Amino acid sequence: MKLLSTNGFIVYAKKMNEADMLLSYITEDYGKITCFANNARKSKKRFLGKLEPAMLTNIKFYEKPGMTLDILYEADIVEDYKNLRKDINIYLFLTKLTEISRILCQERDNNKNIFYLIRNIFKSLDKLETAPSAERMPVSVNTVLLKYEIYFISNLLKFTGIYPNFSNCIDCSESNLRNSFDFNLKKGGVICKSCAEDKNNGHAYSEIKKLPVNFINLSNLMTGSDLSIINKLAVKEEILTDCSIFLRDFLSFHTGKRLRSFETI
């Protein structure tokens, strides 16, 4: 077996019995990996306090050819985002982020952009100040988290190669110049009014979604900017909420899975 080392964020954790755990990480060097951690909940030296969400750890794990699971040997804290665990709304938001990462990212499909996307969001939220001061107006945590959510999902879709086609009708290729087309969930792209109403195309009513106002412009901005720009972006909360609902529906349809974190947050 080969002993490997990398930095990673936990995106899934499951207790296997009284002591063992199954863990999935988004790592800097190997993409998503899933590890079996023997005696993880009892080993104070190797794992105590190091298998929590909202922290970046350096992990050492054994890779054995032919095995579907890696073997986690030990973990050490690199960055601990303690403030994320102090606000329940932010902490619950992280469960949404990790669930989406776990579902969309494939095993060993290494993409450093995804790792740094998660890291930048963790670091930025850890420094978030919402209380008013002499220089700053009060900040709505929900509005901030909605912006981060749209930013994260839009960029993750881009990095995984499944970012939707918003530019041209998925059937006839007509340009969506005014961003007025609807969206076909099944085909993963926008559709003009003529094609949507054409019965010969066989579009089911449930597959067609109305795009929220300004969603395309907002999503394009999100994928072309860094977090410093997004933090300054002023968007009404109701618009952000509509965009979040659309992304939830798109992800649920695309993955064929019910995303529990969207139902509880």
Residues of the chain within CATH 2.40.50.140 domain(s) are 1-80
| Position 7 confidence tier, pLDDT thresholds 50, 70, 90 | very high
Tokens of 207: 């597959």
Q: What mean pLDDT do residues 159-176 have?
A: 95
Pick the CATH number of 1-80 from 3.10.580.20, 2.40.50.140, 1.10.12.10, 3.40.470.10: 2.40.50.140
Cβ atoms of 132 and 126 closer than 8 Å:
no
Tokens of 97: 């982020």
Q: Are strands 31-37 and 55-63 parallel, antiparallel or unpaired?
A: unpaired
Give the alpha-carbon dihedral of 27, 30, 36, 41, to 10 degrees.
Answer: -20
Residue among 247, 68, 69 nearest 149 (CA): 247
Q: Is 112 left (phi over 0), alpha (psi -120 to 50) or beta?
A: alpha
Q: What mean pLDDT do residues 41-52 have?
A: 90
Predicted structure pTM score:
0.92
Ranges of H-type helices in the chain: 44-47, 88-104, 112-126, 141-159, 193-197, 215-223, 227-232, 237-255, 260-264
Which segment of 66-80, 108-122, 197-211 scores lowest on mean pLDDT? 197-211
Average pLDDT, the chain: 91
Q: What mean pLDDT do residues 227-254 have?
A: 92
CATH architecture of 84-265: Up-down Bundle (1.20)
